[in-house]
């Protein structure tokens, strides 16, 4: 193996984590043989030059992220994460199964709640969730689908077993990086694409567009789809604009929409145009001032009423956050058995429900050995790793748990798997997770072959979130013919009239949902963009 990895064995020695590229005996795993051959032909200077080139390309394209108010290019590592076809098949089946079960659960939650009557989950799990909205209880969305897009976070534990870490079925973000990473890697490491079958990722926008149209209200003969963004101040604006451009649909803000007679219209230079499907990238609480936050300048009044009337499809459906609740996550294996009569393909990480007195007492005695998370947190916010916390931090955590046990779960500290990553002038093992993306059309669930591999850039860190300094890797799923592999560039939108759309490239993206919308409201007002009514 190349001398680029001379120090890698020493760094791996004694580590508990599963390494994706090397066996404990420092042999290349078969899936990485092509990568190993390519890297063998490079010097350290070559790697530096290519890594710098990829970083510049991201900066030029506006693929940046925000850390403490500072825009930075999103780190993309030159070594991809490679998943053999047989391993991917397991992940794919597990993700599809999870989406199907959660779809059933959300439909039940907003209807008969037989899952409660049958004693599978307590009623309090639903009614105490911050994302259970009575405004949308009792009706099925137009098109019959609630989870149009899902991002299921997966990790590989010390034994090499893939486990689900959390479910994201509200506003899952990050697929833009999957697309951009592949584009950059075909230029940064082109040799590696020449003889290996790597499944392509460029079909995602087509699947998304078709799924959105498939779930349009029945009365819509030629459904009009729009992407609803909170606006240019949002850290995920790049992704919103990218997806709209790739699908060939309009990118709109709340002020571009108006609701009359429970029907939604988009203001255009040619007059108002009816809208049938809204792919919303905005949190429920900011979507409709009539039902949620009355001070929101990001949404549009009347959208929920239009959805209730069956005149517009909102994707993902309002109220999906009940399934994102980390306490609900702890019940998902039971939900799979209950709704699907199947055993879970992908196991959960062992989880303690701190509202249960016995579990809470045990956890409070072992805080130093556990990870404790808020049930509504994202992006690693509020998470406490007991082994690295100070005594004062643990005392504060103990007080918070006792004050609100429903608001917390605890899990063992897992050593996420590692992949060689170029950092600090050489290659070292860095921990990774994986977010596969699924698209649900109602007739089937498509899983994008790859997903977003996030990597903790700091040695030893288990925090992979980009908002806390993490980076990413291109994720290669092996198994398809070479002719389908390369990302040639912009993907022509499917089922549209060929209109050329351009990609805004001046905004940023953050990895965990459309957070910070409170701050964005303030920015919008300050910029004079949010005066008066939202529409």
Please, are residues 174 and 452 in contact by the beta-carbon 8 Å criterion?
yes
Whether residues 406 and 428 share a domain: the answer is: no
What DSSP character marks residue 32? G
- Residues 531 and 15: their CA atoms lie apart, in Å, by 56
Whether residues 324 and 456 share a domain: the answer is: yes
Domain boundary among 368, 387, 412: 412
Domain count, the chain: 3
Digit-coded pLDDT (tens) for 4-17: 888 888 888 778 89
Strands 471-477 and 452-455: antiparallel
Digit-coded pLDDT (tens) for 170-199: 999 999 999 999 999 999 999 988 877 899
* Nearest C-alpha neighbor of 32 from the set 448, 416, 469, 427: 427
Domain boundary among 258, 286, 311: 311
Give the list of residues 6+ apart from residue 6 with CB closer than 8 angstroms, or none: none
Question: 467 to each of 233, 376, 503, how far by Cα in Å?
Answer: 16, 17, 23
Whether residues 387 and 471 share a domain: the answer is: no
- How many residues in the chain? 535
Whether residues 451 and 336 share a domain: the answer is: yes
Burial of 213 (0-12, 13-18, 19+ CB in 10 A): buried
Please, are residues 316 and 169 in contact by the beta-carbon 8 Å criterion?
yes
**Does a structural domain hold residue 535?**
no
Whether residues 180 and 102 share a domain: the answer is: yes
Burial of 350 (0-12, 13-18, 19+ CB in 10 A): exposed
**Does a structural domain hold residue 521?**
no
Tokens (6 digits) for 365: 């005695």
- Residues 108 and 111: their CA atoms lie apart, in Å, by 5
CATH classification at residue 272? 3.40.50.11290
Phi, psi for 377 (deg, rounded to 5): -80, 160
Could you tell me the end-to-end alpha-carbon distance of the chain, in angstroms, rounded to an integer?
61
Whether residues 336 and 319 share a domain: the answer is: yes
**Does a structural domain hold residue 526?**
no
- Residues 336 and 167: their CA atoms lie apart, in Å, by 14
Tokens (6 digits) for 359: 């579990």
- Residue 530: what pLDDT? 38
Digit-coded pLDDT (tens) for 483-535: 333 333 333 333 333 332 333 323 333 343 444 566 566 555 545 443 333 33
Domain boundary among 477, 510, 526: 477
- Residues 302 and 284: their CA atoms lie apart, in Å, by 13
Digit-coded pLDDT (tens) for 21-79: 999 988 999 999 989 999 989 999 999 999 999 888 888 887 776 666 666 778 899 99
Whether residues 331 and 383 share a domain: the answer is: no
Tokens (6 digits) for 326: 């980390």
Tell me the CB-side half-sphere exposure of residue 471, using CA atoms within 13 A. Answer: 27
What's this model's pTM, rounded to 2 decimal places?
A: 0.88
Peptide bond before residue 167 is cis, with ω within 30 degrees of 0: no
Whether residues 193 and 252 share a domain: the answer is: no
Domain that holds residue 231: 218-311
- Residues 454 and 474: their CA atoms lie apart, in Å, by 9
pLDDT per residue rounded down to tens, the chain (535 residues):
567 888 888 888 778 899 999 999 889 999 999 899 999 899 999 999 999 998 888 888 877 766 666 667 788 999 999 999 999 999 999 999 999 999 999 999 999 999 999 999 999 999 999 999 999 999 899 999 999 999 999 999 999 999 999 999 999 999 999 999 999 999 999 998 887 789 999 999 999 999 999 999 999 999 999 999 999 888 888 899 999 999 999 999 999 999 999 999 999 999 999 999 999 999 999 999 999 999 998 999 999 999 999 999 999 999 999 999 999 999 999 999 999 999 999 999 999 999 999 999 999 999 999 999 999 876 667 889 999 899 999 999 999 999 999 999 999 999 999 999 998 888 999 999 999 999 999 999 999 999 999 999 888 888 887 767 789 999 999 985 443 333 333 333 333 333 323 333 233 333 434 445 665 665 555 454 433 333 3
- Say how many C-beta atoms besides its own lie within 10 A of residue 187's C-beta: 12
Whether residues 208 and 223 share a domain: the answer is: no
């Amino acid at each position: 193996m190349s001398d680029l990895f001379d120090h890698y064995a020493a760094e791996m020695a004694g580590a508990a984590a599963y390494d994706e590229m090397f066996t404990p005996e420092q042999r290349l795993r078969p899936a990485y043989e092509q990568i190993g051959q390519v890297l063998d032909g490079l010097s350290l200077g070559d790697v530096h030059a290519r890594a710098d080139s990829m970083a510049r390309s991201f900066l030029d394209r506006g693929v940046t992220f925000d850390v403490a108010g500072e825009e930075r290019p999103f780190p993309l590592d030159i070594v991809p994460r490679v998943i053999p076809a047989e391993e991917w098949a397991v992940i794919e089946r597990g993700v599809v199964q999870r989406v199907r079960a959660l779809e059933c659960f959300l439909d039940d939650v907003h209807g008969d709640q037989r899952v409660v009557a049958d004693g599978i989950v307590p009623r309090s799990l639903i009614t105490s969730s911050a994302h259970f909205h009575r405004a949308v209880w009792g009706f099925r969305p137009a098109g019959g689908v609630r989870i149009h897009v899902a991002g299921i976070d997966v990790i590989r534990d010390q034994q090499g077993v893939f486990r689900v870490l959390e479910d994201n079925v509200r506003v899952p973000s990050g697929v833009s990086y999957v697309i951009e990473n592949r584009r950059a890697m075909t230029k940064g490491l082109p040799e590696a694409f020449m003889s290996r079958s790597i499944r392509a990722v460029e079909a995602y926008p087509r699947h998304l567009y078709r799924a959105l149209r498939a779930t349009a209200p029945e009365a819509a003969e030629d459904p009009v789809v729009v992407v609803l963004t909170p606006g240019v101040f949002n850290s995920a604006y790049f992704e919103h604009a990218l997806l709209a451009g790739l699908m060939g649909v309009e990118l709109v803000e709340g002020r571009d929409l108006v609701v009359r007679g429970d029907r939604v219209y988009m203001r255009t230079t040619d007059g108002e145009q009816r809208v049938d499907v809204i792919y919303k990238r905005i949190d429920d609480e900011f979507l409709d001032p009539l039902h949620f936050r009355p001070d929101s300048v990001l949404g549009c009044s009347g959208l929920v009423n239009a959805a209730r009337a069956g005149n517009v499809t909102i994707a993902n459906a309002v109220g999906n956050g009940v399934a994102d609740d980390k306490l609900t996550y702890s019940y998902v294996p039971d939900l799979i058995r209950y709704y699907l009569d199947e055993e879970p393909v992908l196991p959960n990480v062992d989880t303690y429900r701190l509202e249960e007195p016995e579990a809470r007492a045990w956890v409070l005695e072992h805080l130093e050995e556990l990870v404790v998370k808020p049930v509504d947190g994202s992006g690693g916010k509020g998470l406490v790793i007991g082994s690295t916390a100070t005594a004062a931090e643990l005392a504060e955590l103990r007080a918070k748990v006792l004050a609100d046990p429903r608001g917390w779960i605890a899990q063992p500290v897992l050593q996420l798997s590692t992949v060689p990553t170029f950092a600090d002038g050489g290659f070292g093992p860095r921990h990774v997770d994986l977010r596969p993306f699924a698209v649900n059309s109602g007739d089937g669930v498509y899983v994008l072959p790859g997903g977003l591999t996030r990597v903790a850039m700091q040695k030893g860190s288990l925090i992979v979130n980009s908002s806390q300094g993490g980076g990413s890797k291109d994720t290669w799923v092996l198994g398809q013919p070479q002719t389908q592999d390369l990302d040639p560039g912009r993907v022509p939108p499917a089922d549209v009239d060929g209109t050329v759309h351009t990609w805004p490239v001046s905004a940023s993206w953050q990895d965990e949902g459309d957070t910070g919308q409170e701050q964005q409201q303030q920015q919008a007002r300050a910029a004079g963009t949010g005066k008066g009514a939202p529409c």
